[in-house]
Structure 1
Amino acid sequence: MTIALQYCHITVNDPDESLGFYRDALGLEVRNDVASGGFRWVTLGSPDQPGLEIVLSEPHAGRSQADGDALQELLTKGVLQHIVFRVDDLDAAFEKVRASGAEVLQEPMEQPWGPRDCAFRDPSGTMVRLSQGPTA
């Protein structure tokens, strides 16, 4: 049996604003953009991982009003799960993302558990880390 991650979901307030971060600053390619019921699901990916897609969707997309409200509250608080991308040149990636105007949470630094990394907030407040080097 084989198993592989296919989709990773990131909740965003505005798919267009988020594309400026995930597509333009991070360099991911748009693979699909689907509208349904007044909402959009945008999938992005890296050519280096053709079988993995990141899905951007709004809190209420495909959810009940109550569930969407609860997810929106967590997104607003900035307490949803973060995402980590591996890069081959952390300094270049950091400068590209910083130049996009993204909020810098941590400049590149060596971590005690192995990698050198940095952190940003996407336009909706989700923490996005960029990592280069060994992992624990």
Structure 2
Amino acid sequence: MDLKLSQCFIAVDDHDKALAFYRDVLGLEVRGDVAFEGMRWVTVGSPLQPDVQIVLEPPAASPDISPADKQAMAELLAKGVLRGVIFSTADCDALYERVRASGADVLQEPMDQPYGVRDCAFRDPAGNLLRFTERPDA
């Protein structure tokens, strides 16, 4: 079976803040910026993975979702309980210093994990959990 990841979605409540983080701090390239029916989707990705896109979308962007569910999603995002993305990097410590210096919310300083990676964790401006892992052979 020929199966590869193409896109993943991260809910954001402010696209301009998200762009400042994902583009300016993490160095991802902007691949699209689309407005539709009062909403906005921004697509970013790593230059090292041209076929994988991360879509920064409004919380509960589905047109079929109820107002109560939209409110619940916005509250969960604000609490920081929605899942995010795990990135890999060749230098966890350097990446940590760069992201920390940007003022991002630090959840975990770089540390060696018992399952074989060195990693650190932050929250993006919307509160999503982002982990950055370095494999020992990197």
The normalised TM-score by structure 1 is 0.92
How far apart in 1 are the matches of 2:41 and 2:103?
24
2:103 is matched with 101
Where does the alignment leave 5 or more consecutive residues of structure 2 unmatched? none
1:3 is matched with 3
Offset, 1:72: 1.0
How far apart in 2 are the matches of 1:133 and 1:113?
10
How far apart in 1 are the matches of 2:79 and 2:108?
19
2:90 is matched with 88
8 Å contact kept, 1:59–1:69: no
Offset, 1:60: 4.3
Equivalent position to 2:73, from 66, 71, 88 = 71
Q: CA RMSD in A?
A: 1.5
Does residue 16 in structure 1 map to residue 11 in structure 2?
no
How far apart in 1 are the matches of 2:12 and 2:124?
9
How far apart in 2 are the matches of 1:52 and 1:96?
23
Offset, 1:112: 0.9
How far apart in 2 are the matches of 1:60 and 1:82?
15
Q: What letter corresponds to residue 34 of structure 2 in structure 1?
A: V
Q: Deviations over 1:23-49 (max 9, x none)?
A: 111110000000011111000001111
1:50 is matched with 50
Where does the alignment leave 5 or more consecutive residues of structure 1 unmatched? none
How far apart in 1 are the matches of 2:72 and 2:62?
14
User: 1:108-127 alignment to 2 at 5 Å?
Assistant: 108-127=110-129
Identity over aligned pairs, percent: 57
Offset, 1:103: 0.9
The normalised TM-score by structure 2 is 0.91
How many residue pairs were aligned? 135
